[in-house]
Amino acid sequence: MSASERVTTGVPQLDEVLEGGIPRNSLVLVYGGPGTGKTTLGLQFLVEGTRRGEPGLLVTFEQMPEQLYRDFAPFGWDLPGLVRQKRLQILCTSPGTLWEDLLSPGGMVEEAFRQLRVQRLVIDPITLLACAGAVDAGWAPAAGAAPGSPGLAAEAAAEIAATGPAPAAEATPLAGRGAAAGLGAPSPAGAHPWASSRTRMYAVFNALRRLGATALLLAEAPMAGWAGDAGLSGRSGPDGGDPGVAGFLADGILELSFPYVDVGRSSRSQETGLDAQAAGGGAMASLAANRRRFVEVLKMRGSGFVPGRHLMRFDITGLALVRPLTRMQSGRRAALESPAAAIPTGLPLLDDALGGGFPRGATVLLDVNGKADYYDLVGLLIHRWYAAGANLYLQPSSLVGPIEIVENVRRQGSDLLEGAAQGRILLAEYFRRPLLPELEKCLIRGWEMSDREALSWVRQFFAEYMEPDAQRGRPWLIYRDLNTLAVARGSKYLVQDFAAATSWVRACRGGYLALVNMEEISPHLGSFLERTASVVVRTWRTQRYQFLQVVKALDGHVTDALVVEHQPDPPYIRLLD
């Protein structure tokens, strides 16, 4: 969709989420609870239109123009001036009056559209318009309608008739609480149950479509404990209800919320984008500072959008979205080395997050949980380095031994047995177990070394292998299972070894793929490993699906939780956002 077919919202970051803005002439439902920023977003949308030569109309039932002028002046919006210049009109009316006007030819809304050539419309709130009580009049055409003009009310009445008679024993939706709340009188006895919601909203949306403007229809989400019936019935909770009937009729839905969130150090489940919310009070509910505003695009016909809840805030110019790390294009990325300095992984979403692939000179910490299937990913990364001409230093785990590693890499397309014969492989083992004859020639018997001898060997390896080979243009990739190393040598040894290895890898332009299960090591050791590593990638498995997330990269770029889908052909996995 071209830029000319989009309408900007006035919030640049929201336009990015909407891949350029709202499709022109769409009717977008903006719903949320009190204080979520609905009216501010609506007015910001209209003010942006005046800057682009697109006159706007605000229809409001609850606020007078003077109140709006006062409340939004701090944002630098000269609403009185825009009204005087006939670039904006504010129409204060009652829901019943607007209902009749929308269903009558030549009404005040249609006249405003004609005089101002309105291109943007905001109704605040459409919730009250849906409860205007027009059904109770028998859906007759509004007074003043042209003779012989059936109007939208007649269309709505026809729809009611087509659905058949209402069940005799069914309660009227607006009886009791709805009427007591001032949302309109109850429907007459025997009225169809949709008469006060679906059909009324259908008539409203049809009337608005005929006006031919891009509209934000602001809707009050029901408060917890009562959903009501304003065409917005559905679930209820701390942040309100779902859009119900209006959501099906609208071209787009923006949900605004203001929940409690956990802003402290998060568990892995929270890092997937599931914010911890206070459910019915408790310690966190008392921390008002932990409330955060969010906007989420639930629907946008004819357009893609970035899914998920996006953090929103007020600044001196109105509403603004906080660009998440998942979408951040850091200024440091341009200063990094070119993608040629990285080894592509063959997984596009992972390569994009890492700036082109597994960076040369980097230590990549792969954090797995006990149920994660990481064998194909490890085999793929080793294969990619080996195919690019690197030598390999392999230290397997107790669960995945040398034979399994050779097989995993072979499935990806590289023959490590041939590499062993060529002197391109070193195998550091801590367990006495059967080996293929080809691997015996490159075996380092770690179980025979003391800690002092093991550290001495590591320094010797860097000095006699990595440094000279780096000068010859053949870097080394080190693959090690850190949990195995910690069990065999202890945490103190692991800290010394890991610090030295990452330093040498960086200096010799090689790579270090470090496998670790953070749940099995101490928090202090885990913090050290994450701080020292250049890149941290986590993969974990739930009951049915596996996920992968980049939580640290050289330029600060991270990802959302990506789905790991297994496939029958190489590379046997792919990542889905």
pLDDT of residue 559: 86
| CA dist list (Å): 140 to 153, 238, 438 | 6, 39, 90
Nearest to 538 by CA among 360, 350, 361, 357: 350
- Cβ neighbours around 450 below 10 Å, total: 9
CA–CA distance, 141 with 435 (Å, rounded to integer): 88
pLDDT of residue 330: 43
CA–CA distance, 344 with 359 (Å, rounded to integer): 9
CA angle 504, 507, 512 (to 5 degrees): 55
Phi, psi torsion values for 35, nearest 5 degrees: 80, 10
Q: What value does the mean pLDDT of the chain take? A: 80
Question: What average pLDDT does the segment 153-159 reach?
Answer: 43
pLDDT of residue 340: 53
CA–CA distance, 393 with 385 (Å, rounded to integer): 11
CA–CA distance, 406 with 408 (Å, rounded to integer): 6
- Cβ neighbours around 576 below 10 Å, total: 10
Q: Is 2 exposed, middle or buried (0-12, 13-18, 19+ CB in 10 A)?
A: exposed
The better pLDDT of the pair 58, 556 is held by: 58
pLDDT in tens, 332-357: 443 344 445 899 999 999 999 898 99
CA angle 130, 238, 255 (to 5 degrees): 55
pLDDT of residue 181: 27
What pLDDT band is residue 458 in, cutting at 50, 70 and 90? Answer: confident
Which of 142-151, 301-310, 370-379, 502-511 has the lowest average pLDDT? 142-151
Cβ neighbors of 363 (< 8 A, separation 6 or more) are: 501, 502, 505, 506, 511, 512, 514, 532, 533, 534, 535
CA–CA distance, 397 with 380 (Å, rounded to integer): 17
**DSSP symbols for 96-159:** HHHHHHHTSTT-HHHHHHHHHT--EEEEETHHHHHTS-GGGGTSPPPTTPPTT--HHHHHHHHH
Q: Which residues pair with 310 in a beta bridge?
A: 295
pLDDT of 123 above 70: yes
What pLDDT band is residue 184 in, cutting at 50, 70 and 90? Answer: very low
3-state secondary structure string, 454-506?
A: HHHHHHHHHHHHHHHHHHCCCCEEEEEEHHHHHHHHCHHHHHHHHHHHHHHHH
Question: What average pLDDT does the segment 219-243 reach?
Answer: 46
ω before 141 within 30° of 0 (cis)? Answer: no
pLDDT in tens, 395-413: 998 888 899 999 999 999 9
CA–CA distance, 182 with 131 (Å, rounded to integer): 9
pLDDT of 514 above 90: yes
Query: What percentage of the chain has pLDDT greater than the value 70?
Result: 76
pLDDT in tens, 354-372: 989 999 999 999 999 878 8
CA–CA distance, 170 with 324 (Å, rounded to integer): 48
pLDDT in tens, 280-296: 444 444 444 578 899 99
Cβ neighbors of 144 (< 8 A, separation 6 or more) are: 104, 106, 107
pLDDT of residue 539: 95
Question: What average pLDDT does the segment 324-335 reach?
Answer: 47
Which of 123-137, 329-343, 370-384, 472-486 has the lowest average pLDDT? 329-343
